[in-house]
């Protein structure tokens, strides 16, 4: 995890869950992650299969130059990535694994911002089918963020934050380890990435 907000939110989530698969949404203390709140969001799918933004911090909304509450997460991605993103979300929603992803955010004029996204499962409260805590933040400062919107997100890498995850939606992402996929994605196993070993696609 490259960004301080990503590390802070993961550390708080990990502390609150203890020996469980995931903490409940009500256990997340905004004061404990106050410095990262602008970069955080929550997702829920109460009655549908689509994960929508329940809440989104000010800096998350600034990436798109609009309020994104209520929008469907996967629709922010470029069309070729949407099925893979939905598969990644299905893994998080099992409450067995978090993921951290490397992304490229594209503006209309061709400008690109490197982004980092963290997705962590939350225990389902009441009737909610899925609940997710997330962070979306530029990996490094980008001067045009908040001035022109990101109009499409491209998924670059996925790293699982659980050693007991055995596979990733097999038809879209190869078995984990460290595997370079045909479409250019890289999937990492566990919490600490190994040194890169390039393989032909």
Residue numbers of the domain that contains 113: 4-188
List pLDDT tens digits, range 19-47. 888 898 889 999 999 999 999 999 987 65
Is residue 69, in this structure, part of any structural domain at all? yes
pLDDT of residue 26: 87
- Name which of 132, 183, 185, 184 is nearest 9 in CA terms: 132
- Is 45 inside any structural domain? yes
pTM for the model: 0.78
Give domain status of residue 37, yes or no: yes
Q: Which of 11-25, 47-61, 184-198 has the lowest mean pLDDT?
A: 184-198
Domain membership of residue 155 (yes or no) is: yes
Phi, psi of 69 (to 5 degrees): -55, 130
- pLDDT, tens digit, 9 for 90 and up, residues 143-159: 999 999 999 999 999 98
Specify which residues 120 forms β-bridges with: 133
Query: Tell me, what CATH number does 110's domain have?
Result: 3.30.450.20
Least confident of 39-48, 81-90, 191-200: 191-200
The mean pLDDT of 156-172, rounded to a whole number, is 56
Q: Dmax over Cα atoms in the chain, in whole Å?
A: 47
pLDDT score for 179: 35
Domain membership of residue 200 (yes or no) is no
Percent of the chain with pLDDT strictly greater than 70: 74
Domain membership of residue 82 (yes or no) is yes
Domain count, the chain: 1
Kindly tell me the burial class for residue 71, based on how many C-beta atoms sit within 10 Å of its own C-beta (0-12, 13-18, 19 or more).
middle
């Amino acid at each position: 995890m490259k960004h301080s907000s990503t590390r802070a939110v993961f550390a708080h989530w990990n502390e609150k869950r203890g020996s469980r698969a995931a903490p409940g949404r009500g256990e997340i203390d905004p004061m404990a992650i106050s410095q990262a709140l602008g970069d955080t969001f929550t997702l829920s799918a109460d009655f549908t299969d689509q994960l929508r933004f329940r809440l989104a911090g000010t800096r998350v909304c600034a990436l798109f130059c609009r309020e994104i509450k209520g929008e469907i997460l996967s629709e922010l991605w470029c069309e070729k990535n949407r099925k893979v993103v939905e598969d990644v979300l299905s893994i998080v929603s099992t409450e067995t694994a978090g993921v951290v992803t490397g992304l490229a955010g594209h503006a209309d004029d061709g400008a690109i911002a490197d982004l980092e996204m963290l997705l962590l499962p939350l225990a389902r409260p009441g009737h909610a089918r899925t609940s997710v805590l997330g962070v979306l933040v530029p990996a490094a400062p980008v001067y045009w963020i908040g001035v022109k919107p990101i109009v499409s997100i491209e998924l670059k890498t996925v790293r699982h934050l659980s050693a007991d995850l055995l596979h990733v939606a097999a038809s879209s992402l190869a078995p984990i380890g460290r595997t370079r996929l045909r479409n250019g994605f890289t999937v990492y196993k566990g919490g600490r990435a190994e040194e890169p070993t390039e393989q032909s696609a």
